[in-house]
Structures are given as C-alpha cells and as structure tokens.
Amino acid sequence: MTELSILIPVFNDQEVLPELIKRLIPVLESLTPQYEIIFVDDGSSDNSFDILKRYREKNSKIKILKLTENFGQSNAISAGLEKVTGEIVIIMDSDLQDRPEDIPKLLNALKDSNKQVAIARWETKKASLCKTISANIFFQISNYITKIHHPPHLGVFRAFYREVYDKHIKPFDYSGTTLSQFYKLNLDYTVVSLQRDKRFAGKSGYDLKKMVKLALDRILPNMKFVNQASKRKPYYKIEQFWG
C-alpha cells in the first residue's frame, strides 16, 4: 500500500530537476518506504522529460505522466490526481520555491489538526514587485466577485487525504481550477506558515498571458451569478504514463 504520493507538475525545468530529486527523496525515505513521486511533464520543450526518465531508471518509485502538449498547471495537476495511489497526497511546485524539507510540517499539521487539508501560507515570498502586485490584485478581485474565499498568500503546496479528493472533488463537475475546489467546496483545512524560497534556477513558465488565463479560469466560472450549467471539466491529453 502506498502511504504518500507527491504530485509535481513540470514545465521546462531541466535545470532544477536534479536538485529537486536530490533533496526530495531523502525527505520521503525518512518518512516512509511506501511513497511515490508522480511528475507530470506538461509539454516541456527542453530536456525535462529525458532527465526524469533517467532518474526513473534508478528509482521505480518515480513515475512520469507525459502530456501531449502544454495544458497549464491546473490541468496538469488534474491529470496527475487521476494517477495518485497514496493515502495522503502532497502537491508542490517543481522550482524548489516549495521546499521538500517542509513536507513533514504539512503532514504533521494535517494529522495533528484532524482537518481534511493542510495548505502552506507564505510568510515570506521572494518574488518580483510586479508579480507580487499582480497576485495581490488577483486575490482581492477573486475574493470580491467569486464564491471562493480564503486567507491571502495560500499556495499550491498542500497535503490532503486522497479520499477527500475521491469523495468531494473528483466526482464534482469542475468549474475553475482544480485547486479552487478545495475552497469552493468548503473543505475543512488548516494553514501552515512557511517560507517560500526563490526559484532555484531557470525562468518561471508563467508569462503574462498564462497568468491572465489562469486568473480567468479561476474567476469566471466561480463568479457569484454563474449557474451550474457553465461548469467545465479540466482539459488535457495524456501521451503516456510510466507508473
């Protein structure tokens, strides 16, 4: 039985993947021998996929889900969630802004709080002024005009019981992003204050166009006047899964 699944979307991360895996595996080995790491290659155009294949040859607990093209982080997460087998699931970014060494803090908070989800809240977030301002504007607009309400500075980095996803989110007719369902469905969660590091290497895959699209994908389907008929399911195509 798999106790812990780590789900990581990847897009053009060839420079960071070796360091991520180097830091991640010792943390997981210290927690349980029953773990899996599912990397979702979201249409990378660099050598990310080849690097992941080489690491999988050395460690069968590394699994790779390759999408046919770049569908965006939210859809990549949705695709990965279809493949996880662990009792507890961790979702994290690939760029080492989410620190592998903080995984035990999320797990302890999840278990000690008796909540369904534990979500990282960034006490310090090292980002550009432009990105910080745009994120704050997005948060204010989202909280005002949508049905989604949560404290500021919550990240992708989170731990939850897979049965929560299977019962409350998977059968739900998706609207907006997958992660927004955690808030929209009023799942009982606890917040863990963590420090967010700088991106380890490379450039963010989020240009202005993708940031705007992500904001619209989350906001528009969840606006207060939007009815059930407007909902849509996440869109992705899987090329292959090495499980």
pLDDT in tens, 63-87: 999 999 999 998 999 999 999 999 9
- What tokens does 115 get? 């909540």
Give bridge partners of residue 224 from the DSSP assignment. Answer: none
List all residues 6 or more positions away from 206 whose beta carbon is below 8 Å from its beta carbon: 214
Any idea what the CATH number is for the domain that residue 33 is in? 3.90.550.10
Question: 96 pLDDT exceeds 70?
Answer: yes
Question: What is the predicted pLDDT for the residue at 155?
Answer: 86
Question: 57 pLDDT exceeds 80?
Answer: yes
Average pLDDT score over residue span 138-161: 71
Amino acid found at 212? V
CA distances from 190 to 46, 56, 105, 162 (A): 37, 33, 12, 16
Question: 163 pLDDT exceeds 90?
Answer: yes
Helix, strand, or coil (residue 136): helix
Q: Report the domain count for the chain.
A: 1
229 confidence band (pLDDT: 50, 70, 90): very low
Place of tokens 């360091």: 19
Question: What is the predicted pLDDT for the residue at 186?
Answer: 78
Nearest to 12 by CA among 70, 83, 54, 81: 70
Residue predicted with more confidence, 98 or 131: 98
Give bridge partners of residue 189 from the DSSP assignment. Answer: 117
101-149 confidence digits (pLDDT tens): 999 999 999 999 999 999 999 886 555 555 566 556 655 655 655 556 5
Global confidence as pTM: 0.82
Query: Domain span at residue 143?
Result: 4-242
How many C-beta neighbours within 10 Å does residue 203 have? 10
- What tokens does 6 get? 């780590």
